[in-house]
């Protein structure tokens, strides 16, 4: 990914009007700002700016997955139906959101909505002893889900990029300790992406695999889920398991819980031997006895995360990207047609480039100052640096944070110091 870009060369353009066919704020803002393009209902293309954000989210997740010992792979979207028949997940009555297709010879294929089956199948080639375990394997991969109804803009699509990790263990104890590590890793991800303060660990239904699962839910009225939050302990319960029995088991008092709408931004759960058994993923222990491998599954939808940030971190003028995932660190604006001012702005641009600071340079001619400001607010890049006759007269560059009302005049040197990425916030061990 290039470090910088001239806005005059960027093929996307901002729009003043919201698209008529989007009601969700996340899609409305992301489309107006030119981050995404709607291909059809629930299917969105990533444009240059959106892709930059997505890649940054991906890298944050990758760092945290590697920190807990994850090994990255990339599995196929096309799925062998035979494997899924062995686990009884091929039938449309069992999994109703399959996209299926056929080879020329009429053999049936699926487009993966999840990847337990192929990964377990791969590992039967490599795991035979307790010495081969534990393992945690993950990927960033496009998932296909034939949703009956796509909705909420980019939050619930039919095709989306997902990080899915699968873990493999010899014992419940080993699984449990890894599961706790993953809770921590997920928390770090949400903190680093800038929605940690709104995101809560939530008890949810366990579906067919186990009694409960855990979701990470980000509070916003735009959410599809309803959760009940205990603010003192920061623990929440999804409406789907909101029963007296479960509240009691979690030591939660019903009267203290507050109802919220929330977006599910992550889901972690235990698989036990649901897939290792039918697919024959077996290890031999120290005594020479054979057992099915125990598994866990850990998912995060990246597009949904991007949409959640747009939904939650925005104002009436546009998006407000956190520095950690902003498409660029600085939005440099050149105002006016004065040649000296232009030379000065070019100098600032070159200097930021040299210092490896990601900058989007609005060098466009024939665009009014007001329009450039409106664009800057809409795109939501954390720092706005203005070079104009006025800023030069006042002694330099006007630097303003997206979240602030007023800017200040800084020198080129001060600009570099100010916009350098924060040193903290990297992966902690």
Partner RNA sequence: CGGGCUGUAGUAUAUCGGUUGUACAAGUGCUUUGGGAGCAUUUAGGCUGGGUUCGACUCCCAGCAGCCCGACCA
Stretch that binds RNA, among 52-60, 178-186, 285-293, 330-338 (CB under 7 A): 330-338
Tally of helices (H runs) and strands (E runs) in the chain:
12, 24
Place of tokens 């839910």: 217
Q: How far apart are CA 309 and CA 323, in angstroms?
A: 12
Which of 74, 104, 106, 148 touches RNA (CB under 7 A)? 148
Least distance CB 42 / RNA (angstroms)? 6
Residues between 268 and 297 with contacts to RNA, criterion CB under 7 A: 269-271, 297
Say which DSSP state 151 is in.
Answer: B
| Contact pattern from residue 110 through residue 139 relative to RNA, giving x for each residue in contact according to CB under 7 A and a dash for the rest | ----x-------------------------
Does 389 bind RNA (CB under 7 A)? Our answer is yes
Does 206 bind RNA (CB under 7 A)? Our answer is yes
Task: Please count the other Cβ atoms lying within 10 Å of the Cβ belonging to residue 23.
Answer: 13
**Binding residues for RNA, total number by CB under 7 A:** 67
Q: In what order do the strands lie in the sheet with 99-102?
A: 78-80, 108-111, 99-102
Least distance CB 224 / RNA (angstroms)? 6
Does 412 bind RNA (CB under 7 A)? Our answer is no
Which of 7, 26, 34, 42 touches RNA (CB under 7 A)? 42
Place of tokens 């890894």: 178
Nearer to RNA, 114 or 324 (CB): 114
Q: How far from 405 is each of 309, 377, 384, 388, 400, CA to CA, in Å? A: 21, 11, 11, 18, 8
Which of 12, 14, 80, 181 touches RNA (CB under 7 A)? 14
Least distance CB 140 / RNA (angstroms)? 18
Does 377 bind RNA (CB under 7 A)? Our answer is yes
Q: DSSP states of 355-384 as a string?
A: TT--EEEE--SS--HHHHHHHHHHHT-SEE
Task: Please count the other Cβ atoms lying within 10 Å of the Cβ belonging to residue 287.
Answer: 6
167's CB contacts (< 8 A; 6+ apart) are: 134, 135, 136, 137, 175, 178, 182, 295, 296, 297, 298
Least distance CB 374 / RNA (angstroms)? 4
Contacts within 8 Å (CB) and 24+ apart, 398-403: 402/320, 402/321, 402/376, 402/377, 403/320
Nearer to RNA, 15 or 347 (CB): 15
Does 40 bind RNA (CB under 7 A)? Our answer is yes
Does 362 bind RNA (CB under 7 A)? Our answer is no
Nearest 5°: the CA angle 38, 152, 155 is: 80
Stretch that binds RNA, among 48-56, 63-71, 141-149, 347-355 (CB under 7 A): 141-149
Does 19 bind RNA (CB under 7 A)? Our answer is yes
Which of 25, 32, 56, 169 touches RNA (CB under 7 A)? 32
Judged by the rule CB under 7 A, the positions of this chain that interact with RNA are: 13-24, 32, 40-42, 95-97, 114, 147-152, 156, 205-210, 212-213, 224-225, 267, 269-271, 297, 317, 335-337, 365-371, 373-378, 386, 388-391, 398, 400, 407
């Amino acid at each position: 990914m290039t470090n910088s870009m001239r806005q005059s060369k960027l093929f996307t353009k901002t729009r003043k009007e919201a698209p008529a066919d989007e009601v969700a704020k996340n899609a409305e803002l992301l489309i107006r700002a030119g981050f995404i393009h709607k291909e059809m209902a629930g299917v969105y293309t990533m444009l240059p700016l959106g892709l930059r954000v997505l890649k940054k989210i991906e890298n944050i997740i990758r760092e945290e997955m590697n920190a807990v010992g994850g090994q990255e792979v990339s599995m196929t979207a096309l799925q062998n139906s035979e494997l899924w028949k062995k686990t009884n997940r091929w039938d449309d009555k069992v999994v109703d959101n399959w996209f299926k297709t056929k080879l020329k010879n009429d053999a049936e294929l699926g487009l993966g909505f999840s990847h337990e089956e192929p990964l377990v199948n791969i590992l039967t080639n490599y795991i035979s002893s307790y010495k081969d375990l534990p393992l945690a394997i993950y990927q960033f991969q496009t998932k296909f889900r034939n949703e009956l109804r796509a909705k909420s803009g980019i939050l619930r699509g039919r095709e989306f990029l997902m990080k899915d990790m699968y873990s493999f263990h010899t014992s419940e104890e080993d699984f449990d300790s890894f599961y706790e590590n993953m809770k921590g890793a997920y928390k770090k991800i949400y903190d680093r992406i800038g929605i940690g303060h709104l995101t809560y660990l939530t008890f949810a239904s366990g579906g067919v695999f186990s009694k409960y699962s855990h979701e990470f839910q980000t509070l916003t009225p735009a959410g599809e889920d309803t959760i009940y939050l205990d603010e003192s302990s920061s623990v929440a319960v999804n409406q789907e398991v909101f029963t007296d029995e479960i509240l009691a088991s979690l030591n939660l008092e019903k009267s203290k819980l507050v109802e919220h709408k929330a977006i599910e931004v992550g889901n972690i759960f235990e698989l036990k031997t649901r897939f290792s058994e039918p697919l024959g993923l077996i290890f031999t222990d120290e005594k020479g006895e054979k057992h099915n491998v125990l598994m866990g599954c850990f998912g995060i939808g990246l597009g949904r995360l991007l949409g959640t940030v747009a939904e939650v971190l925005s104002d009436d003028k546009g998006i407000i990207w956190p520095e950690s995932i902003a498409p660029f660190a600085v939005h440099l604006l050149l105002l006016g047609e004065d040649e000296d001012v232009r030379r000065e702005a070019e100098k600032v641009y070159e200097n930021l480039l040299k210092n490896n600071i990601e900058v989007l340079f609005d060098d466009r001619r024939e665009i009014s100052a007001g329009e450039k400001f409106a664009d800057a607010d809409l795109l939501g890049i954390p720092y706005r640096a203005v070079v104009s006759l006025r800023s030069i007269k006042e002694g330099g560059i006007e630097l303003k944070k997206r979240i602030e009302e007023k800017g200040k005049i800084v020198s080129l040197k001060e600009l570099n110091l100010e916009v350098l990425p924060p040193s903290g916030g990297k992966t902690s061990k």
